[in-house]
Chains A and B, each alone.
Chain A
Amino acid sequence: MKLGGFLLLLSGWAIVVTALLVLHGHAVPAFVYAGFGVEVLGLVLVFRGHLPPSEDEE
Chain B
Amino acid sequence: MTPDIQFSFGLCLVFILLVPLAIAGLALVNTGLGRSRSAAQAMTMSLCVISVAALAYFVCGFAAAGSPLSISFGGVGTSVVEPARFFFRGANALTLVVALLGVMSVGISSLIPLGASADRYRVGAACASTAVFAALTYPVFSFFTWHSRAGLFGAGSVGVLDSGGSGFINVVGGLTALSAAWILGPRHGKYPPKGMPAAIPAHNQVYVLFGCMLAWMGWLGLNSAGAMLYSSIRPEGAVLVVINTTFAAAAAALTSAITTRIRFRRPDASLIANGWMAGLVASSAGCAVLKPATAIITGIVAGVLVVLSVEWFELHLKIDDPCGSISVHAVCGIWGLLAVGIFAGSGTQFTAQFVGMATLLGFIFPLTYGLNWTLNRFIPYRVSLDGERQGLDLHELGADAYPEFVVHSDEFLQR
Give the B-binding residues of A (Cβ under 8 A). 6, 9-14, 16, 20-21, 28-29, 32-33, 35-36, 39, 42-43, 47, 50-52, 55
- Taken together as a complex, chains A and B put the C-alpha atoms of A52 and B362 apart, in Å, by 24
In chain B between 189 and 203, which residues have their CB closer than 8 angstroms to a CB of chain A? 191, 193-194
List 23 interface pairs A-B (beta carbons < 8 Å), by A numbering: A6-B369, A9-B361, A9-B362, A9-B366, A10-B363, A12-B362, A13-B358, A13-B359, A13-B363, A16-B354, A20-B153, A20-B157, A21-B153, A29-B347, A32-B355, A35-B362, A36-B358, A39-B361, A39-B362, A42-B361, A50-B319, A52-B191, A55-B194
- Taken together as a complex, chains A and B put the C-alpha atoms of A55 and B363 apart, in Å, by 34
CB neighbours of B319 from chain A (8 A): 50
CB neighbours of A51 from chain B (8 A): 317-318
- Taken together as a complex, chains A and B put the C-alpha atoms of A39 and B193 apart, in Å, by 32
CB neighbours of B180 from chain A (8 A): none
Interface on chain A toward B: helix, strand, loop, or mixed SS?
Answer: helix
CB neighbours of B358 from chain A (8 A): 12-13, 16, 32, 35-36, 39
B182, A32: Cβ atoms closer than 8 Å = no
B365 interface residue per 8 A CB criterion: yes
Q: Give the nearest-CB partner of B153 in chain A.
A: A20
- Taken together as a complex, chains A and B put the C-alpha atoms of A51 and B316 apart, in Å, by 9
- Taken together as a complex, chains A and B put the C-alpha atoms of A35 and B365 apart, in Å, by 15
CB neighbours of B238 from chain A (8 A): none
B182, A36: Cβ atoms closer than 8 Å = no
CB of B78 to closest CB in A, whole Å? 25
B132 interface residue per 8 A CB criterion: no
A50, B194: Cβ atoms closer than 8 Å = no
Contact of A20 (CB < 8 Å), options: B355, B357, B363: B355
CB neighbours of A39 from chain B (8 A): 358, 361-362
CB of B117 to closest CB in A, whole Å? 15
> Given the known A-B contacts A10-B366, A52-B191, are A43 and B355 also in contact in the complex, defined by CB atoms under 8 Å?
no
B351 interface residue per 8 A CB criterion: yes
Interface contacts beyond A9-B361, A20-B355: sample of 11 additional A-B pairs, CB < 8 Å, sorted by A: A6-B370, A9-B366, A13-B362, A16-B358, A16-B359, A20-B154, A32-B351, A32-B354, A35-B362, A50-B317, A55-B194
Count, A-B residue pairs, CB within 8 A: 63
Of the four ranges (under 10, 10 to 19, 20 to 34, 35 or more), the interface on chain B belongs to: 20 to 34
- Taken together as a complex, chains A and B put the C-alpha atoms of A21 and B148 apart, in Å, by 12
- Taken together as a complex, chains A and B put the C-alpha atoms of A35 and B359 apart, in Å, by 10
CB neighbours of A52 from chain B (8 A): 191, 318
- Taken together as a complex, chains A and B put the C-alpha atoms of A39 and B333 apart, in Å, by 17
Q: Mark B330-367, 1 if CB is under 8 A from A, else 0.
A: 00000000000000000100010011011101110110
A33, B317: Cβ atoms closer than 8 Å = no
A47, B317: Cβ atoms closer than 8 Å = yes
Q: Mark B276-303, 1 if CB is under 8 A from A, else 0.
A: 0000000000000000000000000000
- Taken together as a complex, chains A and B put the C-alpha atoms of A42 and B84 apart, in Å, by 35
- Taken together as a complex, chains A and B put the C-alpha atoms of A29 and B182 apart, in Å, by 33
- Taken together as a complex, chains A and B put the C-alpha atoms of A29 and B369 apart, in Å, by 28
> Given the known A-B contacts A50-B182, A51-B317, A52-B318, are A16 and B355 also in contact in the complex, defined by CB atoms under 8 Å?
yes
- Taken together as a complex, chains A and B put the C-alpha atoms of A38 and B28 apart, in Å, by 38
> Given the known A-B contacts A20-B153, A50-B182, A52-B191, are A29 and B366 also in contact in the complex, defined by CB atoms under 8 Å?
no
- Taken together as a complex, chains A and B put the C-alpha atoms of A43 and B178 apart, in Å, by 12
- Taken together as a complex, chains A and B put the C-alpha atoms of A12 and B317 apart, in Å, by 23
A36, B357: Cβ atoms closer than 8 Å = yes
Q: Give the nearest-CB partner of B357 in chain A.
A: A36
- Taken together as a complex, chains A and B put the C-alpha atoms of A11 and B362 apart, in Å, by 8
Q: Mark B15-57, 1 if CB is under 8 A from A, else 0.
A: 0000000000000000000000000000000000000000000
CB neighbours of B357 from chain A (8 A): 36
- Taken together as a complex, chains A and B put the C-alpha atoms of A10 and B366 apart, in Å, by 7
- Taken together as a complex, chains A and B put the C-alpha atoms of A32 and B361 apart, in Å, by 13
Q: Give the nearest-CB partner of A36 in chain B.
A: B358
